[in-house]
Structure formats: C-alpha cells, structure tokens
Amino acid sequence: MGMDANAALEARIAGIGFWANGLPSWQAARDFVTAGTLVEDAPRRPAPRLLAANERRRAPETVLLALEVAMAACEDAGRDPRLLPSVFTSTHGDLAITDYMAATLADDPRALSPIRFHNSVHNAAAGYWTIGAGCMAAATAISAGPASFAQGLVEALAQLAAVEDAVLLAGYDVAATGPLGAVTTSEGLLGGALVLARSGSGRLLRAALVQSDAGRGDGALAQRCGGNAMAPMLPLFDTLATGGTSALLQAGPGTALRLELAND
C-alpha cells in the first residue's frame, strides 16, 4: 500500500511485546536499556501459551517467536486477540526450513517432510496465530527486506486509518543456517509487536515516509541484537524504552519512516 511522503499516519501504542535472546519480555528489554541487566537462566526459545505443549514442540522458531510477542502485545493492551486484524512481517521467514528444503530437494526430494513444507510458507506464523487465537479478522503477511518492519508498520497504520479500530503488528526473524548464512546474515532470535489503536491510552505515534537513509540505530537494544535481520525495528524499541520522542526506520532504498512519539 502506497503512502504519500508528505502524509502522516498516527496511532496510539496500546501494547508492546518483545523477545530476544536473554531478553524474553518487554520488561526485560526495558530493564536492559536502563540498567544493563539480563534475565538469568532466560529460555533459549519462546514457549507461547497459545499453543498446546505438543504443538510447541513441533512448531518452528519463527512461529514460536511471532506468537509469543503478538500475545504479549495483546495482553499489554488488554485487547482480545480474537478481534484484532493483524500484520505479520519477517525479513526472511524461516531460514532453517528453507535451508532444509533446499538440501533435501537436492539430495532426496522424496524425503521432503510435508509438515516442514507446510511451515515454510511466509504466512505460516499468521496462520498459526489466527487458528491458535481463534481470530477471524484479516491477517496480512509481508516481507520487504531490511524495510520489512517499517513497511509492516505502514501497512498497519494504513489499515487503522482506513477502517480498523485497532491493529496488531508483529515483526520477527531467526538465525540464518547452512549456505544461506553466507549470503543472508541473521543471528539469534528477535521479535517485536505493537497493538496500535485509533484512540485510548498509550503514546501517540506519528509516522511519515521521508527521503533519507536510516541505519540500525546505536541504542542498547540495537547494539545487543543488531545481528538479527529484524534489527531495523530496534531504533523504535530503544526510543520507547528510553521515553524518547523520535526514531528513523529503514523503509527502502533512500527512504526512511520518520517516527515521532508524544505522551498526549
């Protein structure tokens, strides 16, 4: 969906979810930003309550990560996940499954796992979310390279401006494996989610596309988690954690999404 560079979209940030290695919640992320602390014995990967135990064992890390941050944002906002339209954005999707499928197709195509093939599609996390949450609202899955989070945010804000009362946005990426790691760099697990609302409490976010280059930021979260493909979202989360008022996100070649945050 296009957006005029001079036009601004806005929303209230009603809820926030976050997960990274050593920082398994938004509270943990804020504590790290303000005090440099990490969670002792933090889990190696998320375990979203939305999935039954046997489903959690079978689900890929992309799904676990996306569902964990999405539900955390809904709970933080006090919103029923069954009612929220959603936008799920990932730079690469599930690189581990992509690597597995490429290797299997090259060596023994008949051995390809139907379950892994099912989980390879880019909207797998969105599908698990709508089924697990019992959500009948629209779900969108997008990818835009390093601009994936910014473009997901534009999509969510546009839906909010057009018709919706609130929209869930979830961004996530996992580590690159196999030969893909040589051409597609991504380390660890990183996910972030926002519930954006037309009105209510929460900081006011205004966003506009501008002609500018944007880096991955130099805040505490950007420095710790900067090796992950979803790192371009971190300038926003660093700003939210510190109570700052502005951030610039990569939105495409020579394009940035300028964000302004206010408390009223």
* The most confident of 95-99, 115-119, 246-250, by mean pLDDT: 246-250
Task: For residue 227, give every residue at least 6 positions away whose Cβ sits within 8 Å of its Cβ, in sequence order, or none.
Answer: 185, 186, 187, 188
Q: What is the mean pLDDT of residues 171-194?
A: 92
Residue 6's pLDDT band (boundaries 50, 70, 90)? low
Q: What tens digit of pLDDT does each residue of 183-194 get?
A: 888 999 999 999
Locate tokens 């919640």: which residue?
A: 25
Residue 51's pLDDT is: 86
Q: Are 168 and 195 in contact (CB under 8 A)?
A: yes
Residue 192: closest CA among 231, 154, 155, 159: 231
CB atoms within 10 A of CB 121: 14
Residue 168: closest CA among 66, 245, 242, 26: 66
Residue 5's pLDDT band (boundaries 50, 70, 90)? very low
Instruction: Indicate the pTM of the whole model.
Output: 0.92
Cα separation, 256 vs 143, whole angstroms:
16
Residues recorded for the chain: 264
Residue 1's pLDDT is: 39
Per-residue pLDDT at 263 exceeds 90? no
Pairing of strands 255-262, 246-252: antiparallel
Q: What is the mean pLDDT of residues 193-205?
A: 95
